[in-house]
Amino acid sequence: MREETRERGRPFQGIGINILFLGLVSFFTDISTEMVYPIIPLYLMSALGATPVLVGVIEGVAESLASLLKVFSGYASDRFQRKKAIAFAGYAAGIFYKLALLFAGSWSGILLARVIDRAGKGIRTAPRDVLVSESAGEGSLGKAFGLHKMLDMSGAALGILATYFLLRRATEHDYKLLFTVSLIPAVLGLCMFIFIKQAKISASKSREPFWQNIRQVDAQLRLYLLVVFLFTLGNSSNAFLILKAKAAGFDDISVILLYFLYNITASALSMPLGRLSDKIGRKRLLVLGYLLFSACYLAFALAGGPAPMIAAFALYGVFTAMITGVERAYVAEIAPPALKGTLLGLQSTLAGIALLPASVIAGALWNALGPAAPFLFGAGLSFAAAMLLMFFMKGPKNFQSRSGKYGMQ
C-alpha cells in the first residue's frame, strides 16, 4: 500500500530527460501539423472541388505509401543505431510539407504534400519510439509512452486552437496564411533535438535483411500484428470524422473546435492510461480500447445533431489515449531487443498499409450508402478485433507487471 501511495505521489518517476525532449519535439511538430490537418479535407472540397471518395484516396495513398518506410526506418535504426539522426530527418520533412502546401494549386499538389508529410512520419516514428523505450525506467514503459503521447496531443490541441482563432480573423478562410504560420513551430520542434542524447552503440555486423530476422518473432506478436491490420481496415482517416461533422450541420470553424475537443481529451488521459497499463497489463486496456472504438464509431454513425457529435468526438479522444501509447509499449516490451525498431516500424507499416483500402472503402460506402455507412463498417471490424485479442492472445512470458501478473493477462 505504501509503495502504491509513493507511486501516485511521483507520477514522473522513471521518466528520463530524453523522453521530455522527445515529447517536446512532438509537441511543437504537432502544433504545426494540426494547424493545417483539419482544414485539408475542407480545403479540398470547398476550394478544389474534391469529392469524399477523392479525399479518401488522397489520405489512403499518402498513409499507405509512407507507411512502407516505417519498417525500413525501424530496421535501419536497429542496424546502424543512428536513431536520433533518422528521427531528425523524419521531423525535418514537416518543413517541406508546409512549403508544398503553399505551392499546391490542385488536388494532386495536396496529394504530394500529404505524401511528404506521411513519409516524414514513416521515417521518424520507429527510431523515436525506440529512443522513448530505451529512456524509460524499469516498470515505467506505459507511463513513458503516455507522457510522450500527452505532449504530442497537447501540441495538436494547441495547433487546432490556433487555427480556430486565425480562421475567425482571416478573410475568406486564408488557408495560405495558416500554411505559412505553421512553419514556425515546426522549426522549434527541430531545435529540441539539440538536447536529446543517444547512447553510443556500435552498429550490428549482421547484414541479414529484416524479413529474415522477423522469423524470430513470437507467434503471439504475429497474431497481434494481424489484429492491428484488421482493426485499421475499419479505422479510416480522421478526415471522415470532420466531413461527418459537416454533414451533421457544423460549419468549417466549429468543426475545428470539435477536433480540438478530441485532441485535448486524448492529451489529458494519455499519461494516466499509460500508467494504468503498467499496473493492469496491456491486453486489458487494448481490448477495452477496441470495444470503446466500436461504440464510438456507432455514435458517429447515429449522431445527427450537435450534442451527440460532441460526445462522439470526446469519446474518440478517450479511445486514442487508451490505445496509441499502449500499443507501442506492448510491442516495445515483447520484441527481441535487436528487433525493437524493426517491429515498432512493422506495426506502423501494417496499420498504414491498411489505411489505403480503409479510406477508399470509407469513401465508397459514404457515396453509395450515406455518411453513417463507413462508421458502421468500422464499428464491426473493431468489435471483431477486440474478440480476437480477448480470446486468442496470451500474455508474454518475458514481462511481469508490478502486481506479479503477466502484463498481457
Please report which confidence band the pLDDT of residue 375 belongs to, taking 50, 70 and 90 as the band edges: very high
Q: Is the pLDDT of residue 170 over 70?
A: no
Tens of pLDDT, residue by residue over 32-76, are: 988 888 778 777 776 677 777 787 778 777 776 667 777 777 777
Please report which confidence band the pLDDT of residue 404 belongs to, taking 50, 70 and 90 as the band edges: very low
Q: Is the pLDDT of residue 236 over 90?
A: no
Please report which confidence band the pLDDT of residue 187 belongs to, taking 50, 70 and 90 as the band edges: very high
Which range, of 3-7, 34-38, 65-69, 214-218, averages the lowest pLDDT? 3-7
Domain annotation covers residue 35: yes
Domain annotation covers residue 203: no
CATH of the domain at 222: 1.20.1250.20
- Number of compact structural domains in the chain: 1
pLDDT at 401: 37
Share of the chain above pLDDT 90, in %: 19
Q: Is the pLDDT of residue 380 over 90?
A: yes
Q: Is the pLDDT of residue 85 over 80?
A: yes
pLDDT at 398: 39
Average model confidence (pLDDT) across the chain: 79
Tens of pLDDT, residue by residue over 146-156, are: 888 889 989 98
pLDDT at 241: 87
Share of the chain above pLDDT 70, in %: 84
Domain annotation covers residue 405: no
Domain annotation covers residue 384: yes
Q: Is the pLDDT of residue 400 over 60?
A: no
Most confident of the following: 20-29, 337-346, 348-357: 20-29
Q: Is the pLDDT of residue 102 over 80?
A: yes
Domain annotation covers residue 11: no
User: HEC states along the chain?
Assistant: CHHHHHHHHCCCCCECHHHHHHHHHHHHHHHHHHHHHHHHHHHHHHCCCCCHHHHHHHHHHHHHHHHHHHHHHHHHHHHHCCHHHHHHHHHHHHHHHHHHHHHCCCHHHHHHHHHHHHHHHHHHHHHHHHHHHHHECCCCHHHHHHHHHHHHHHHHHHHHHHHHHHHHHCCCCCHHHHHHHCHHHHHHHHHHHHHCCCCCCCCCCCCCCHHHHHHHCCHHHHHHHHHHHHHHHCCCCCHHHHHHHHHCCCCHHHHHHHHHHHHHHHHHHHHHHHHHHHHHCHHHHHHHHHHHHHHHHHHHHHCCCHHHHHHHHHHHHHHHHHHHHHHHHHHHHHCCHHHHHHHHHHHHHHHHHHHHHHHHHHHHHHHHHCCCHHHHHHHHHHHHHHHHHHHHCCCCCCCECCCCCECCC
Domain annotation covers residue 202: no
pLDDT at 203: 47
Domain annotation covers residue 276: yes
Domain annotation covers residue 350: yes
Most confident of the following: 55-69, 368-382, 392-406: 368-382
Q: Which domain holds residue 366?
A: 16-197+211-392
pLDDT at 28: 95
The grid coordinates listed for 102 are 503553399
Q: Is the pLDDT of residue 185 over 90?
A: yes
